[in-house]
Amino acid sequence: MTDAIFVALGVIMLGGFLILAGSTSREDPRLRRSWDSRFDSEAHELRRTDATGVLRCRRCGASGTERAGICPGCGAVL
């Protein structure tokens, strides 16, 4: 009986979370402008490489190849 109550509470909590998560629109102009400005600033940022084409991650400091484009340590964009 208690298992059924826990399952029912879990379903209710999941439903509430989905309702709250769906309340913000992906097409919200404020969120879109914020994402666009972050993308543009990262896209136009100068990244210095040495002759070997190795980049240093700004998040964790690991080194990764320029061709790979992602950090091998944390997965961030180089």
Q: Render pLDDT for 8-27 as a digit per residue (tens, 0 to 9).
A: 888 998 887 877 766 655 66
Domain count, the chain: 1
Residue 56 resides in a domain: yes
Residue 42 resides in a domain: no
Strand segments, DSSP code E, in the chain are: 54-56, 63-65
Residue 39 resides in a domain: no
Residue 21 resides in a domain: no
Q: What is the pLDDT of residue 48?
A: 65
* Band of residue 28 on the pLDDT scale cut at 50, 70, 90: low
Residue 44 resides in a domain: no
Return phi, psi of residue 38, to 5°: -65, -40
Domain that holds residue 69: 49-78
Residue 12 resides in a domain: no
pLDDT in tens, 31-76: 667 777 887 877 777 666 666 778 888 888 888 887 777 888 888 8
Residue 59 resides in a domain: yes
